[in-house]
Amino acid sequence: MTKAGALTVDVAIIGAGPAGLTAGYLLTKAGKTVAIIEKDATYVGGISRTEEFQGYRFDIGGHRFFSKSQQVVDLWNEILPDDFIQRPRMSRIYYEGKFYSYPLRAFEALWNLGLWRSTVCMASYLRYKLFPVRTVNSFEDWTTNQFGQKLYSIFFKTYTEKVWGMPCDEMSADWAAQRIKGLSLWGAVVDGLKRSLGLNKAPNDGQAVKTLLETFRYPRLGPGMMWDAARDRIIASGKGRVLMGHALEQLASDGNDGWRMTANGPDGKVVITATHAISSAPMRELAARLHPLPDTTLNAARLKYRDFLTVALMVEGEDLFPDNWIYIHDSKVKVGRVQNFRSWSPEMVPDEAMACVGLEYFCFEGDGLWSTADADLVELAKSEMAILGLVDPARVRGGAVVRQQKAYPVYDEDYAANVAAMRQELEHRHPTLHLVGRNGMHRYNNQDHAMMTAMLTVENILAGQRVYDTWCVNEDAEYHEAGDEGAQGTLPARETVTPDQAAALASVRDVPERIKPSATAGREAA
């Protein structure tokens, strides 16, 4: 490497999130030189960072450290060997002043709703069992058929629409079927009656299928602690640079499978020359900055994202509620989820007499909520906590706002084709350009999946060929040839990922796909 304005490295990396930092750490550990650019001037970790305000620390969403992959767990322990704590897990649903277990326990839900509303719910349930929606296209159709219109409207509609910013009748039924498993309303009622009569001692409440972790590991100062440590290890190796406050201007091919990356930083422009490039930047942004422009630039431009913001409130009082987080299903407020940061780790809150909660608002960048002034958002959060009865506004001693762009990739009806088109072109034309992570691959994944895509990418770079398919989930994906016939031979055969690697790759989470408008037009009920 040379002076700051002009760097020559083995690998240039875009983004200092979990994927980019994992790649950087493993590459420097293997003796390769790297330069990582990060547009945030202060924090590494991306959506897994931990923000700080007046000594209070808070996540951008909550990030449990759990993986079925031992490789990922071992890497966490290697980077942060002494700072994990074990925390009890508790999350509930809040609706009209009452708490409900999450995942939902149907018998408990009916009990909390009271006799009259429960009767209406059961009547609605029976009506749709006898006369279901015949043509099931949407999330609304599927969920209504399973639980009736009334329970659907209480426990599924409000929160789902808050998160994804689209009506439930435009979301795919397949997503509902994948997401809501193991909950039988009738089975829960029968089980509850049996237990009430002493005929059944099994505490399943209709939840025999689903079991949640009761504890989880967590860095004592938040997930950002992990990524701060990874950054520090990269720098300490003497083989890595992490350039904060540097935004990608251009990633240009040198015509020989190498790269010239230009980034704008606080001290001017930096030019990084590298043999390989790794990008965790959103595919849409990468395509616009590649030179030459890909043929699939328009495909990338059509990719969409869901954003959100967190309003952190510092509140007088030790323990407001025991939950790590609460899902807000109440339509009277805009907030979708509330984080209780002391329950994640006591060290997140510097004063034992204080609490810190984070209200999460799901939105689109540039809409009314996103554009609201910080002071007004703090006041909104205070008023909504009062409406919910969770916090007395008079006890709030301060507040801060953090906006998170591109938190969730949107799976509309065209996203898969757009991603596949760009992926195929880049792999064909640029074998030394590697896409990793949530936004880099436009896949709604967990930390461990993002890390595994980086881990396999590093193996490919060290091997000098793509021996692993970083896009595979449980099995290798099918590759299609792109470009002119005969211009390039077939891609090298992929090694099958190990069961351990597949366990991490399988952590990709379900995202609702938008059904085509014509699908709802034929909706029909008996």
CATH assignment, 6-48+222-301+413-495 = 3.50.50.60
pLDDT over 80 at 518, yes or no = no
pLDDT digits (tens, 9 = 90+) for 214-230: 788 999 999 999 999 99
- Using pLDDT thresholds of 50, 70 and 90, give the confidence band for residue 196: very low
- Using pLDDT thresholds of 50, 70 and 90, give the confidence band for residue 476: very low
pLDDT over 60 at 323, yes or no = yes
Instruction: Write a three-state SS string for 42-99.
Output: CCCCHHHCEEEECCEEEECCCCCECCCCHHHHHHHHHHCCCCEEEEECCEEEEECCEE
For residues 395 and 374, what is the distance between their CA atoms, to the nearest angstrom?
Answer: 19
Summarize the confidence of residues 379-399 as an average pLDDT. Answer: 95
For residues 412 and 110, what is the distance between their CA atoms, to the nearest angstrom?
Answer: 34
Quick one: pLDDT at residue 185?
57
Quick one: pLDDT at residue 186?
57
SS3 label, residue 133? strand
For residues 458 and 21, what is the distance between their CA atoms, to the nearest angstrom?
Answer: 11
CA distances from 487 to 97, 189, 385, 478 (A): 65, 64, 61, 19
Structural tokens at position 299:
């495909």
* CATH architecture classification, 64-94+212-219+305-409: Alpha-Beta Complex (3.90)
For residues 105 and 210, what is the distance between their CA atoms, to the nearest angstrom?
Answer: 10
Residue scoring higher pLDDT (499 or 26):
26
Q: Which residues contact 419 (CB under 8 A, 6 or more apart)?
A: 283, 299, 303, 441, 442
pLDDT over 50 at 492, yes or no = no
Residue % of the chain over a pLDDT of 70: 85
Quick one: pLDDT at residue 191?
54
pLDDT digits (tens, 9 = 90+) for 265-315: 999 999 999 999 999 999 999 999 999 999 999 999 999 999 999 999 999
Summarize the confidence of residues 384-399 as an average pLDDT. Answer: 95
> What are the residue ranges of CATH 3.50.50.60 in the chain?
6-48+222-301+413-495
Quick one: pLDDT at residue 194?
52
> What are the residue ranges of CATH 3.90.660.20 in the chain?
64-94+212-219+305-409
pTM for the structure as a whole: 0.87
CA distances from 210 to 103, 207, 504 (A): 8, 6, 20
SS3 label, residue 252? strand
Number of C-beta neighbours around residue 166 at 10 A: 17
- Using pLDDT thresholds of 50, 70 and 90, give the confidence band for residue 479: very low
What DSSP designation does 236 have?
H
